[in-house]
């Protein structure tokens, strides 16, 4: 799938639309989801044009892959979610209902999250 530079997260990365920022470094940006599905719902996105996890891990430089995953861990730690626990999730493609075609990891926490998937 070709990367669409007009997607909403690309606009956030370019600073064209605002976000409620949680964390930023050279590799990643994290911000609160506009429509939270849990008391804490943060999105972490890599600073690069990647649609999905498969695209990212196949094409991003090692430094970005490493930096992105370190950022995800850092955000979970900084939100103090390590002890109570949290869930990370990345939707990819139609069956997973991916809405925004820029790789993003959801971090959910702040309550007991229940079973992994609703049936
Ligand atoms: P997906 O279904 O692609 O995994 O999740 C996309 C997520 O992006 C949704 O949870 C949705 O609420 C969030 N989202 C969509 N547009 C915006 C926006 O403009 N700002 C923020 N902060 N989140 C957004």
23 pLDDT band, cuts 50/70/90, is very high
Residue 119 predicted with pLDDT over 90:
no
Percent pLDDT > 70 in the chain is 99
Question: Which atom, in ligand 1's list, is nearest to the CA of 90?
Answer: 4
The per-residue pLDDT for range 77-109, each reduced to its tens digit, is 999 999 999 999 999 999 999 999 999 999 999
Residue 118 predicted with pLDDT over 90:
no
Q: What is the pLDDT of residue 22?
A: 98
Mean pLDDT over each residue of the chain, to the nearest integer? 97
8-109: CATH superfamily: HIT-like (3.30.428.10)
Residues lining ligand 1, Cβ inside 6 A: 8, 19, 31, 33-35, 91, 97-100
For residue 35, report the distance from its CA to the centre of ligand 1, in Å.
7
SS (H, E, C) the chain: CCCCCCCHHHHHHCCCCCCCEEEECCCEEEEECCCCCCCEEEEEEECCCCCCHHHHHHHCCHHHHHHHHHHHHHHHHHCCCCCCCEEEECCCCCCCCCCCCCCCEEEEECCCCCCCCCC
Contact 52, 1 (CB under 8 A): yes
CA distance 111 to 54: 30
Total-model pTM: 0.97
Counting ligand 1 atoms within 8 A of each CB, the residue from 17, 35, 51 with the most, and so the one to mutate, is 35
104 part of the active site: yes
Q: What is the pLDDT of residue 73?
A: 98
116 pLDDT band, cuts 50/70/90, is confident
Domain boundaries, the chain: 8-109
Residue 1 predicted with pLDDT over 80:
no
């Amino acid at each position: 799938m070709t990367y669409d530079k007009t997607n909403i997260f690309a606009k956030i990365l370019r600073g064209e639309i605002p976000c409620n920022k949680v964390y930023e470094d050279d590799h990643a940006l994290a911000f609160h989801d506009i429509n939270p599905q849990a008391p804490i719902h943060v999105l972490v996105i890599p600073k690069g044009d990647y649609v999905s996890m498969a695209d990212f891990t196949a094409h991003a430089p090692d430094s970005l892959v490493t930096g992105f995953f370190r950022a995800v861990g850092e955000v979970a730690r900084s939100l103090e979610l390590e002890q109570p626990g949290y869930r990370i999730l990345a939707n990819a493609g139609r069956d997973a209902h991916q809405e925004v075609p820029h790789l993003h990891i959801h971090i959910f926490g702040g309550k007991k999250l229940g079973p992994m998937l609703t049936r």
